[in-house]
Structure 1
């Protein structure tokens, strides 16, 4: 996993104060990283357009233009006057070298369209809503067909990961120094493209300090591969899945759990349900139940019966309908509990716990803010907030999983995730390890799916998990 920071101003200052690195030197490394990326992708003499703002993000772009000059047909477009000290210095250097500066985008002839468009307008310096001129400019840049590179942060995306009007849609974002949380909001996923980190004169191991936020990657996934030969089905736990009014949700979770290594899986229901032969059914919890999955498709329920199950001293995954009832408050200070709400359910949970009364829109614009608020109040439970990027928190640490994709926007996908987490819990994994691994496996299965992305089914996700 990689460290992620809300901003890197303190890290830059540390480079100046402790390592004797100048602002100019850091900027040269930023520009060089973009140069190296372009050189790795494009031949000499390609048309490159760099759009530069008035501050230091623009200065990075002007420095890049100087480095590209003569090897490529590079043009700078500066819609605003340069203002920062570094922008003025870099502009002076570029002009002395003879770098081409255009006054209007209309100077780019139809037959001379840029092969590469580099966005150096605002970066992490955006702290206001875009004016009309900037909105029109970004919209026009998005309409160009060249390969799009964002410097640090796509313009239009602010440091809270919000887009107030329009954002630059990049194929790749080269962010400076370290990863930033703003790059991992749900809306940012349609803007950033592939995210790379540029070193700024020292290796990231030196540049970065401590953080409470981490980006997960596939190497953090610990599949429940079996190594012990002297074993039996009970060795790998007995999971109980509560099946409610919408029986399909619980059955999908049960299937996922069995495929992910649970030794025994029993669905608990008093109704006749159509289940696979390898899944068992009972009316009451088995005596040797080692984990519980409850909530998905539950519908109306007897509060006393659910409360009795929630009070059992076994690991639990809680999903869906239970986030709309104050019975959920009984487990918020318990270890070994995993909560898996989608945004609307998390808003309900925040209201029930009296932490916030907000709309889904407000949550989606501030996902990390409200996740951290919950984590600060209830650090013992594991919470996975579903979304374009899944956010996981435990013990006030936040983990970001970006591996999921739009193929998972299907009914039943969340039930598979619940089953995967529950399966690992019943096999003895800790709540946080189970959630991280299951979430990554869930995302990797969708990522590896080779058919049309609209066709993914819950059973496809389960099949994909089997071959990770």
Structure 2
């Protein structure tokens, strides 16, 4: 796991006050880190254009030009003329060694965006938007310095300074950041960073439900009861996913006669030896209020998804001790309204996903929330985790039902709600990443089949 931060100005200030490093030293390390990346990836004499703004992000870019000068065909294009003290100083140094200016944007091997960084607020001028649009159209390997400017520049990689920023992991940012690499600023990243309740999940954080106990039987690995409603296919996919992911027994609980795979069981009530519940996938209006109440008349760990977020019963679910909620954006705004937290649109949510996850977790600190999206956000109490490894291959009906089954299987096997959400989510994306076919061809069955190859 890696730490995430709202801002890094306070971390920079700590470097000045506690480690006696100057702004100049931090900037030189930032530029050197970018230069090292370019030297390792591109041959000498490659053409590099660095587009610089008027502030310290532009100053980073000018310093980079000085470091690459002579070994590379490097030039600086000024989107805005230097204004900050450091930008003036770096420009003076660059002129002294002979770095050239570029009067226009043109084809190159490497294009570096150093217009604005994380400190920027406000709107871009039409002229600046036009420059970034032209940058995006150029055929070059594109590098963002610290963050893509205004999250409008489409980078192949973002070389970010000191630490990871939360803004880089909004769904709307995913199109722009590309790969991400953190550069040190004169001290180890572990020294530079402070405590943070926000964490970025790595695929290596995944803990699979491996069977290490030799003296065991099917009852040793839990029993998941899955509510089977109006669209029974969704609950069947969840159940198959759970069975494949280690749950010893899986029972569909419903009130209609349906055909089910032979390895699953079917019942009209929650079996007595059930260790966890899964509810909501394809539920529709199949369950009456009394039947739903009966299904929930226990204190078992629960994964809740889909239709349940539009029902009154979700408020009772919020009272449970071990519960994982897995809404997508539209379902989450319904939940926020029903819980009297906020009444917002999907667009408003997508702009401030972290804010609304925090609001929900503050009101319900015992509930584990998994907000689906391009970057999954998992929250419980004051701890927030981001899974950035999602892929558009998962944008297909049934993918979420498989995720519910994965989480349900872990709950049934004794994982706590937060562990089940984190490991279920990491497994979900890993299944998609491991799939060998075309991304558009991935189906829920493919995901379930991939479980056996983890």
Task: Calculate the TM-score normalised by the size of structure 2.
Answer: 0.99
Deviation at 1:283, TM superposition (A): 1.1
Q: Which residue of 1 aligns with 2:422?
A: 436
Q: Which residue of 2 aligns with 1:280?
A: 265
Q: Describe the SS at the equivalent of 1:361.
A: helix
Q: Which residue of 2 aligns with 1:143?
A: 137
1:463 and 2:442 matched? no
Q: Which residue of 2 aligns with 1:160?
A: none
Give the alignment of 1:291-310 within 5 angstroms: 291-300=276-285, 301-310=287-296
Contact 2:301 2:411 in 1 (8 A): yes
Alpha-carbon displacement from aligned partner over 1:376-422 (angstroms, at most 9, x marks no partner): 11110100000001000012211000111000000000000000000
Deviation at 1:325, TM superposition (A): 1.5
1:197 and 2:197 matched? no
Deviation at 1:331, TM superposition (A): 2.4
Q: Please, which of 233, 245, 253 is the counterpart of residue 268 of structure 1?
A: 253
Give the alignment of 1:59-208 within 5 angstroms: 59-105=59-105, 108=106, 113-157=107-151, 167-208=152-193
Deviation at 1:302, TM superposition (A): 1.2
CA distance in 2, matches of 1:232, 1:9: 55
CA distance in 1, matches of 2:443, 2:407: 18
Q: Please, which of 214, 219, 225 is the counterpart of residue 210 of structure 2?
A: 225
Deviation at 1:76, TM superposition (A): 0.1
Contact 1:148 1:170 in 2 (8 A): yes
Alpha-carbon displacement from aligned partner over 1:74-101 (angstroms, at most 9, x marks no partner): 0100121211000000000000111011
Contact 1:79 1:103 in 2 (8 A): no
RMSD: 0.9
Deviation at 1:306, TM superposition (A): 1.4
CA distance in 2, matches of 1:176, 1:401: 21
Contact 2:197 2:383 in 1 (8 A): yes
Alpha-carbon displacement from aligned partner over 1:437-465 (angstroms, at most 9, x marks no partner): 11000001111112111000001111122
1:450 and 2:444 matched? no
Q: Please, which of 299, 307, 312 is the counterpart of residue 313 of structure 1?
A: 299
Q: Which residue of 2 aligns with 1:211?
A: 196
Q: Please, which of 324, 331, 335 is the counterpart of residue 338 of structure 1?
A: 324
CA distance in 1, matches of 2:198, 2:297: 31
Deviation at 1:35, TM superposition (A): 0.4
Q: Describe the SS at the equivalent of 1:123.
A: coil
Deviation at 1:262, TM superposition (A): 0.3
Give the alignment of 1:250-269 within 5 angstroms: 250-269=235-254
Q: Which residue of 2 aligns with 1:2?
A: 2
Q: Describe the SS at the equivalent of 1:156.
A: helix
Deviation at 1:271, TM superposition (A): 1.6
Q: Please, which of 389, 402, 420 is the counterpart of residue 375 of structure 2?
A: 389
CA distance in 2, matches of 1:239, 1:458: 19
Q: Describe the SS at the equivalent of 1:261.
A: coil
Deviation at 1:318, TM superposition (A): 0.5
Q: Where do 5+ consecutive residues of structure 1 fail to align?
A: 158-166
Contact 2:299 2:320 in 1 (8 A): no
Contact 1:338 1:435 in 2 (8 A): yes
CA distance in 2, matches of 1:26, 1:311: 59
Task: Calculate the TM-score normalised by the size of structure 1.
Answer: 0.96
Contact 2:269 2:295 in 1 (8 A): no
Contact 2:158 2:177 in 1 (8 A): yes
The number of residues matched between the two structures is 453
Q: Which residue of 2 aligns with 1:425?
A: 411
- Could you list the runs of 4 or more consecutive aligned residues of structure 1 that deviate by over 2 angstroms after TM superposition? 307-311
Contact 1:250 1:267 in 2 (8 A): yes
CA distance in 2, matches of 1:273, 1:33: 61
Deviation at 1:220, TM superposition (A): 1.2
CA distance in 1, matches of 2:35, 2:256: 64
CA distance in 2, matches of 1:418, 1:410: 15
Q: Where do 5+ consecutive residues of structure 2 fail to align?
A: none
Contact 2:4 2:166 in 1 (8 A): yes
Q: Which residue of 2 aligns with 1:411?
A: 397
Deviation at 1:287, TM superposition (A): 1.1
